[in-house]
Amino acid sequence: MWLSLPVFQWVFFESGLWKGNELSAAWCTHLFLMELLAWTGCYFRSPLRAFWLWLSLLLVFQYSKTVLSDFDYLIGLGSYDITGPAADVNMMGYANAEQIASGIHFRLRARSFIVAEPKGKRVVFVNLDACMASQLVTIKVLERLKARYGDLYTEQNVAISGIHTHAGPGGYLQYVTYIVTSLGFVRQSFDVLVDGIEKSIVQAHENLRPGSIFVNKGELLDAGVNRSPSAYLNNPASERSKYKYDVDKEMTLLKFVDDQWGPVGSFNWFATHGTSMSRTNSLISGDNKGAAARFMEDWFEQNVTRSPDTKELGSGGLPRRVSNIIPNSHDKHHELLELAASFRSSPGRPATRTLSVARRVRGTLRQADKPGFVSAFCQTNCGDVSPNVLGAFCTDTGLPCDFNHSTCGGKNELCYGRGPGYPDEFESTRIIGERQFRKAVDLFEKASEPLKGKVDYRHTYLDFSQLEVTLAKEGGGSEVVKTCPAAMGFGFAAGTTDGPGAFDFKQGDDQGNTFWRLVRNLLKTPDKKQVDCQHPKPILLDTGEMKLPYDWAPSILPIQIIRIGQLVILSVPGEFTTMSGRRLRDAVRTMLTSSGNGQFGSNTHVVIAGLTNTYSQYVATLEEYQVQRYEGASTLYGPHTLSAYIQEFQKLASALINGQPVEAGPQPPDLLKKQISLLTPVVMDSTPAGINFGDVISDVPANSTFKTGSNVTVAFWSACPRNDLLTEGTFALVEMLQGTDTWIPLYDDDDWCLRFKWSRNSKLSPRSKAAIEWTIPSSASPGVYRIRHFGASKGLLGSILHFTGSSSAFVVA
């Protein structure tokens, strides 16, 4: 029996079950050999037998060392729900004060990967279904990681990036400019992000196992167009001639393959805005990139769990649900109707929060001992790239908008971009999401180039309000210029063709007007130095110099390089335009591949991770800045912002090549204690006398039968979703009857086909209702179904009561 411990340790390591924990192979080997020495002394009195045993062990040991060095990386992936308050909170992105969340299109998630050398460095990349990263969120996530893991995960090797959906709850950034329309800081939005990011990283850490990573690239031609072509055309013709398109069409994908389990995830980077959902949408949504991630994760899970002959995509190109995992024992329509008639709507009743979590659909699809497949569609240099690929048109005439200013009869409010599903924004979102999903599947299945080499990183903070930049002069020599304190131009207020602004602002305004200057001066009048520094931008808001009640805009920004073999990720805290991103990538790639030390070859892949670690709006080229369309007017730190980024990233690249450290730089402020919130809390919920929370208001018709493609809507008495976000749970559920009395969950509020819509009778009313809409997919099996609602009500004294209710059953034929 005393031999069992070292044998177990040896098997434990060799099997890969150690999952990245700090268990030393040498220590296991030492214990094994010491115990075996004693064992041979006891049982092998013959020197010849002992000799042959030890020779065999040496051969085994040499082989084991080869096996242990066979993998280059430890890989781990994780995913967690970050869906924020689905009621009362302004959505982040369009800065439209009237765009208030009132339900869920599908849920938002934080998706993470960790890559580590077995005995070396490691990096973390987190992709958020959120508009952008937040400096304050990043600070608090890092504090939690330090408390949990010490110095294993720090600002140096952790990148947190947003997909730029404009359909997620706001109020989680710390600077005033970005929380005005959300009525200040929203603690619930902030907390769910910090919690979800931490949990996704913890999952990835606990899933660390030996594995491989493959990279692949390919063109996707129909998922983005340039929304500011007049600004792009101001770039030098010689530079533009090097590129076939005025936006980047290339998708770069990583495929993660566990040595034991096979493929466990994919992350890709592609440039297109998260603005398929419009500025009037009120349902929480991951927009086109969140949709693509949901499609691909479902596609993979169903390919694993279904037989080879049923792995095709469903109607419309979307993955089929696995509803046929439930055997259909009811083939006759009249029998189904009789069975459905026996299940009338159930009165609302108390429930536990865990019931909502337990009834979620996707958890039942995963093997208990294997991590679920994680697929992330990350953002890159999307600054001037729109998913509204049909172009921008005037809503009054149907004619194309003015080319230079994106106006209609001089008004920007009438100029809107049209998505491929116009006029249905949900269809546009599906189509752009599906196009990215299909390309990712193609790249995933064909990925064959393995990442090989070091894991490394460099990170620093920079004060962009006064950064000196050395520029080469055309005639030789150089000059030193400086960036400026943050400021936004008049063209910023005009918005874009994805979401136009209001009043009489227009893009391409390099003059401004007297009236709005007077309004501006009530807040802060920029001095001559700032005006000259920002020229030719006419300053509308001098945000970098506005400090009351606290900072309006960031000054200190993080930049970061992450290396995984021949892949290099540039983490940038903003939205680079197409040409800005090309210049930055080219500058870094040139420095890496021309270093002469052989670390980086011609197969070096450089991608930009946009909106990462914090947010500082746009980065346009110097030439685009002169035009002052939205992107140039939103380039906060003046005309030399891009040159500053290129200069500082080249410094990081040099340090990476030469193995040198970089200075940490000035620390960004933590403004959590200064935050102000004006959002009214939930006081209480109520229902009419004799009515329970969860009771049905409008049911399906009696003895009803629906065909696939039909819409089924049921309304319930509900309560404010802010009472409990039901994280990793669901507010809405479609269940199918199995046998005569067992209900199986098939679709929840994370499914494309199911929408949860919440509303109050009036703004201050304690009464509310939930409408649950199910569009029956073509893959739904014939059978008996019902719709179910989960929620949580708040009593006058603050107590929270969870509840559930069900519709009458109905038949899908």
Q: Which residues are catalytic?
A: 386
CA distance 269 to 572: 13
Per-residue b/e over 125-164, b at no fewer than 16 CB within 10 Å?
A: bbbbbbbbbbbbbbbbbbebbeeeeeeebebbbbbbbbbb
Nearest partner of 72 among 670, 564, 613, 608, judged by Cα: 564
Q: What is the 3-state secondary structure (H, E, C) of 716-768?
A: EEECCHHHCCCCCCCCEEEEEEECCCEEEEEEECCCCCEEEEEEECCCCCCCE
Per the CB < 8 A criterion, the answer to whether 401 and 394 are in contact is yes
CA distance 355 to 730: 9
CA distance 166 to 277: 7
**How large is the C-alpha radius of gyration of the chain?**
29
**Distances, alpha carbon 377 to alpha carbons 313, 389, 461, 483, 579, in Å:** 19, 19, 27, 32, 21
According to DSSP, the residues that pair with 789 across neighbouring strands are 732, 805
The dihedral over CA atoms of 689, 693, 696, 697, expressed in degrees to the nearest 10, equals: 50
Q: What are 29's two structure tokens?
A: 């080997």
Residue carrying the six token digits 């890092």: 142
Sequence-separated (6 or more) residues with CB below 8 Å from residue 785? 734, 735, 736, 737, 746, 809, 810, 811, 812
CA distance 670 to 366: 40
**Distances, alpha carbon 781 to alpha carbons 328, 334, 809, in Å:** 8, 16, 15
Sequence-separated (6 or more) residues with CB below 8 Å from residue 181? 90, 95, 96, 97, 170
According to DSSP, the residues that pair with 91 across neighbouring strands are 169
Per-residue b/e over 172-199, b at no fewer than 16 CB within 10 Å?
A: bbbbbbbbebbbbbbebbbebbbbbbbb
CA distance 669 to 665: 13
Per the CB < 8 A criterion, the answer to whether 208 and 324 are in contact is no
Q: What are 693's two structure tokens?
A: 């929370």
**Distances, alpha carbon 107 to alpha carbons 82, 83, 293, 399, 732, in Å:** 8, 6, 11, 36, 11
Nearest partner of 57 among 18, 29, 25, 15, judged by Cα: 29
